[in-house]
Amino acid sequence: MSITIKQLIKWKQQGREIVVLTAWDYPIAEILDEAGVDLILVGDSLATVALGHQTTLPVTLDQMIHHAAAVCRGVKQALVVCDLPFLSYQESAAQALHSAGRILKETNAKAIKLEGGYPAIAETVAKLTTAGIPVMGHVGLTPQSVHRLGYKQQGNTDLARSRIMNEAIALAQAGAFAIILEHIPHDLAAEITAKLAIPTIGIGAGVDCDGQVLVTADLLGLTKKQPPFAKTYTNLRPIVTQAVENYAADVRSRQFPKLD
């Protein structure tokens, strides 16, 4: 049975941690799903981990849809959520509805995620949820605002803390079903998690969130550089390099293919 949004809320109430990872193609999605990941995010980190960009800004809605459709083909259980990329929703609620509608119609994703909070984004979230589109919020370090905020921890002053708390509350009141908390002080993430009835999913936000997310390319050691809060569970870069070098040596020495 596929995992539903209702299930995520129930898990928060039961104190059962929610496991989230990102995916950008069919084989990765199939592996994550078979390993029992609860929620698979087609994040706009696709721009950096799969398309080679420096930031998430260049990825387009068409590219997100192309990759989300491939991810969905590999998933049987997990809830698939797809990011709305930079400038596909910030202009107006109508633009957001159009973009989110395309994702739901053209892929098998069940929900969208967008960055930012109060007031404009919360109003957009209300319009989307009213139209029947489930929305995940994202506050704290929001990579689409890198040129304004940088890639550093957010919420380090009283003012910034209360702004992030108010954004999270506004998103929940607008109907978001979950919120990503990225790179904020752990006690602030704990406060937000205790305050909201919807699940919080942390990345660099401490252990008190209702779930955790990592960029899968970081977890697998495919990226050259990882953020300070990421954990590399295996280091695939040298393993892949070794396999490719072995293959190249076999081809050059006519060891591959072998005649049977």
Q: Cβ 139 to ligand KIV, closest distance in Å?
A: 11
Give the residue nearest to ligand KIV (CB): 43
Among 17, 106, 182, 245, the active-site one is 182
User: Would residue 91 show up in a list of annotated catalytic residues for this protein?
Assistant: no
Q: Cβ 12 to ligand KIV, closest distance in Å?
A: 18
Closer residue to ligand KIV in complex, CB, 180/198: 180
> Which H/E stretch holds residue 139?
strand 135-140
d(C-alpha 102, C-alpha 239), whole Å: 38
- List contacts with ligand KIV (CB under 6 A): 22, 41, 43-45, 83, 180, 203, 213, 215
Closer residue to ligand KIV in complex, CB, 226/239: 226
Closer residue to ligand KIV in complex, CB, 53/258: 53
Say which DSSP state 197 is in. S
d(C-alpha 108, C-alpha 73), whole Å: 8
Q: Cβ 229 to ligand KIV, closest distance in Å?
A: 10
Give the burial string for 228-251 (b: 16+ CB within 10 Å, else e): ebbebeeebeeeeeeeeeeeeeee
The pair of three-digit structure tokens given for residue 226, joined into one six-digit string: 């990882």
**Would the CA dihedral through 153, 157, 158, 162 be positive or negative?**
negative
Closer residue to ligand KIV in complex, CB, 57/256: 57
Q: Cβ 130 to ligand KIV, closest distance in Å?
A: 24
Query: 3-state DSSP call for residue 47?
Result: helix
Active site residues: 182
